[in-house]
Amino acid sequence: MGILIYGTINSVALALMALGFALVYGISRLPNFGHGALYVVTGFITWSFFRGLGVNYLISIPISIIIIGIIGALIYQFILIRVRGMATSEIIASYAIGVAILEGLRWGGFKGMTYTLPVFLEGSIDIGGIPVDFHRMIVVGAGAGVVIFLWFFTHHTRIGLALRGMAQDERASLMLGIDSDFMAVVAMGFGSALAGLAAVLLLPLGNIVVESGYNVLILAIAVCIVGGLGSWMGAVIAAFLIGFAQILTVVYLGSHFQMVVALLAIILTLILRPSGLFGRQKELEERV
Amino acid sequence: MEERRKERLDRGIKIRTDKIYALMSWRELSYLTMPRLVLIVGILMLPFVVPGMYWQRVISIVCVYALLALIFDFLAHFVGLVSLGGAFFIGVGGYLAAILNTSAGLPPIVTIPLAALIGAAICTVLLLPCLPLRGVYFAIVTLMYPLVAARIIEALDILGGTDGIMGVESFSSTWTEQYFIILMTLLFLFGIRRLVNMDIGLVFRAVKDNDQAVRASGINITLYKAIAVFIASGVGCLSGACLVHIYMWSGISLFSLDFSILPIAATVIGGAGTLVGPVLGCFILVPISELLRAFGTLRIVFYSLILVAFIVFRSEGIMVYGQRKYHQFERWVKI
């Protein structure tokens, strides 16, 4: 029972971390290796607003999510758009930006155990004899909410449909008058905002530390690759697979192996089935 | 407004020296050999020029990175395998050298070549299943190899766990250390330059440009990729073994991302696809990062930003720029 509950929570957390990455890759084919940095930066922005400037917690959260969305869009508009389509340059450039941000934060003194955000609701509830605190329940609810919102957004709004069109066939969507560069910027903004949302939901469960940026990046990549790069539903399902696999290894093998599971999942998926469980890439594009 | 464009013409001496006439006069001979001689003599003189023990040690470290950058350039721009996992080669070679030295008691002069050969075999076998992957997929999977190796060593607590293997023998003196690794750098630099111009190099480049055509010619792509990975990982393991003997210690920090990222930055700055460029890039980047050591992690910020600036705004790199200036006139002409 404990495995079931905490597996679900872990899976939803993974899905939250990965959705931003999946969204950006799915639409603009940009493997955004700065994803983890955006995640951590949101934590620090929220912290600065809440603790530094004394803004109300519930107000500082949406402000910081919006700010991180704008930051992401600006990074894309002014830097990454110039290397668009060159996969290796994109990886190196976005990773370097991420590293610069993270190490800059570390240099600026954000390290150690002192930076924490409060949970939304104190207290816990027993489910089948297992205590689960309210904040984790909120995370699960918010995760479900985000997935539903994304589905609605991409199926029933103009921008969402345009994004989906671009993801499917960029040339055709160009002919239909969709500005693909602008849409890529929008996608990056949304992806960053999703990373920020994941951050404000998950960071209260622990400390804000720079290292978590690298871990979030690896986990997001793991989920997206197992699910198939560019497939959002695949990412959600893969999050559940990896989430439960992680909890099971923690229970039966020890917590050291938690990261090994994610990394091995990446390597094995890429070797056996590079397009992931639900990817729709053409076989010839990814392997010879 | 009058519109102009830049016209580029090969220098006469370049065209002459492409042919047999290169041997006709001292001027043309020196045009051909000067750049190489300057590089070789310059690198060989370095240990005499730099002040103090500390900077002599830096030279050895620079050469370790230079070898890594060299194989990154070789794999990425001549075989088409973008490998972000330079740290994996360093780690495998380093741990092998440490084990051979501490357990079997072999001296460095034996452990380094052995570690290079065995390490190359291990890396090639481990990377073999990924070789059919292309582009971004291969890049991601190689990025994950060093991470997973470090986590496995940490989790299983093998090979000394997080403490690493202590008490590895050092080189007999700083001079042998420096000259051994400097000579290795020069040897592999010119060796790989030679290799990519031989027949096998032609196949490598064909694999990069159009693998289906190579396959249609009845050539086994995976075999050639494996050969390239064997050569590259051999060089990488060799530099890792040298590094372990320099530090007299081997630990999971050998798998750290530094060894994957800095060589790539050096390649981008030095000029991709020139093989000399990455080595020069290391001779620029690593000392800068040593000078900035006082700033702590800020130096990583610096070189990340330099890397972004180069890759986005000046992606040709120093060496390509230099070659152009050396071989060509440039002038503005009216359209």
User: What does the pLDDT look like over A17-65, one tens digit per residue?
Assistant: 888 888 888 777 788 888 888 888 888 888 888 877 777 778 888 888 8
Which of B41-45, B146-150, B152-156, B157-161 shows the lowest per-residue confidence on average (mean pLDDT)?
A: B157-161
Most confident option among A2-11, B47-56, B189-198: B189-198
Q: What is the pLDDT of residue A230?
A: 67
Q: State whether B146 and B197 are in the same domain.
A: yes
Q: State whether B197 and B129 are in the same domain.
A: yes
- Return the residue in B82, B260, B304, B315 with the most chain A beta carbons within 10 A, the one to mutate for interface testing: B304
Q: State whether B252 and B272 are in the same domain.
A: no
Rounded Cα gap, residues B229 and A6, in angstroms? 42
A156 vs B24, more confident: A156
Q: What is the pLDDT of residue A121?
A: 67
* Mean pLDDT on B61-67: 91
Rounded Cα gap, residues A111 and A208, in angstroms? 8
Contact B151 A259 (CB under 8 A): yes
pLDDT band, very low/low/confident/very high, at A135 (cuts 50, 70, 90)? confident
**What residues contact B33, with CB distance under 8 A and at least 6 apart?**
none
Q: State whether B86 and B232 are in the same domain.
A: yes
Please state whether beta strands A124-127 and A130-133 pair in parallel, antiparallel, or not at all (unpaired): antiparallel
Query: Does the structure show a pLDDT above 60 at A204?
Result: yes
Which of B216, B236, B256 finishes a domain?
Answer: B256
* Mean pLDDT on B145-149: 85
Rounded Cα gap, residues A262 and A250, in angstroms? 12
| Rounded percentage of chain A residues whose pLDDT exceeds 90 | 0
Query: Does the structure show a pLDDT above 70 at A279?
Result: no
Long-range contacts of B113-118 (CB under 8 A, 24+ apart): B113/B238, B115/B237, B115/B238, B115/B240, B115/B241, B116/B234, B116/B235, B116/B237, B116/B238, B116/B241, B117/B234, B118/B237
Q: What is the pLDDT of residue A284?
A: 46
A99-109 residue pLDDT tens: 888 888 877 76
- Virtual CA dihedral for A63, A69, A72, A76, nearest 10 degrees? -140
Q: What is the pLDDT of residue B84?
A: 83
Q: State whether B170 and B134 are in the same domain.
A: yes
Q: What is the pLDDT of residue A99?
A: 85
**Overall number of domains in chain B:** 2
Which of B216, B238, B256 finishes a domain?
Answer: B256
* Mean pLDDT on B42-67: 86
* Mean pLDDT on A132-153: 84
Torsion sign, CA atoms A189, A192, A193, A194: positive
Rounded Cα gap, residues B26 and A87, in angstroms? 46
Q: State whether B154 and B233 are in the same domain.
A: yes
Q: State whether B236 and B133 are in the same domain.
A: yes
Query: Does the structure show a pLDDT above 90 at B117?
Result: yes
Q: What is the pLDDT of residue B232?
A: 93
Helix (H) or strand (E) holding A133: strand A130-133
Q: What is the pLDDT of residue A280?
A: 60
Q: What are phi and psi of A81, to 5 degrees?
A: -65, -25
Q: What are phi and psi of A207, to 5 degrees?
A: -90, 160
A-chain residue closest to B258, CA distance? A99
Contact B311 A225 (CB under 8 A): no
Burial of A103 (C-beta count, 10 Å sphere; 0-12/13-18/19+): buried
Rounded to the nearest integer, the mean pLDDT of chain B is 85
Rounded Cα gap, residues B8 and B14, in angstroms? 13
Pick from B134, B295, B297: CB nearest A287: B134
Q: What is the pLDDT of residue A167?
A: 77
User: Does residue B249 form part of some domain?
Assistant: yes
pLDDT band, very low/low/confident/very high, at A110 (cuts 50, 70, 90)? low
pLDDT band, very low/low/confident/very high, at B129 (cuts 50, 70, 90)? confident
- Closest by alpha carbon to A92, among A104, A79, A106, A108? A79
Query: Does the structure show a pLDDT above 90 at B187?
Result: yes
Q: What is the pLDDT of residue B227?
A: 93
* Mean pLDDT on B129-135: 81
- Closest by alpha carbon to B317, among B283, B268, B284? B268
Strands (E), chain B: 4-10, 328-334
What is the token pair recorded at A212? Answer: 């978590």
B298 vs A242, more confident: A242
User: Does residue B252 form part of some domain?
Assistant: yes
Q: State whether B250 and B105 are in the same domain.
A: yes
Contact B304 A99 (CB under 8 A): yes
Residues of A with CB under 8 A from a CB of B: 31, 79-80, 82-83, 87-89, 91-93, 95-97, 99-100, 103-104, 106-107, 218, 221, 225, 254, 256-257, 259-260, 263-264, 266-267, 270-271, 274, 285-288
Torsion sign, CA atoms A38, A39, A41, A47: positive
Collapsed DSSP state (helix, strand, coil) of residue A279? coil
Query: Does the structure show a pLDDT above 60 at A283?
Result: no
B76-101 residue pLDDT tens: 889 888 888 889 999 999 999 888 88
- List C-alpha distances in Å: B254 to B65, B98, B244: 12, 12, 9
Q: State whether B114 and B203 are in the same domain.
A: yes
Query: Does the structure show a pLDDT above 80 at B21?
Result: no
Contact B312 A79 (CB under 8 A): yes
Q: What are phi and psi of B6, to 5 degrees?
A: -95, 130
Query: Does the structure show a pLDDT above 70 at A285?
Result: no
A272 vs A149, more confident: A149
Pick from B140, B261, B311: CB nearest A270: B140
Which of B256, B278, B304 finishes a domain?
Answer: B256
User: Does residue B335 form part of some domain?
Assistant: yes
User: Does residue B147 form part of some domain?
Assistant: yes
Most confident option among A128-137, B68-77, B258-267: B68-77
Domain ranges of chain A: 2-215
B217-271 residue pLDDT tens: 888 888 999 999 999 999 999 999 988 888 888 888 888 877 888 888 888 888 8
A208-236 residue pLDDT tens: 777 788 888 888 888 888 887 767 778 88
Query: Does the structure show a pLDDT above 70 at A128?
Result: no
User: Does residue B72 form part of some domain?
Assistant: no
Is residue B106 within 8 Å of B114, Cβ to Cβ? yes
Which of A124-133, B7-16, B34-43 shows the lowest per-residue confidence on average (mean pLDDT)?
A: A124-133
Which residues constitute the domain of residue B187? 80-256
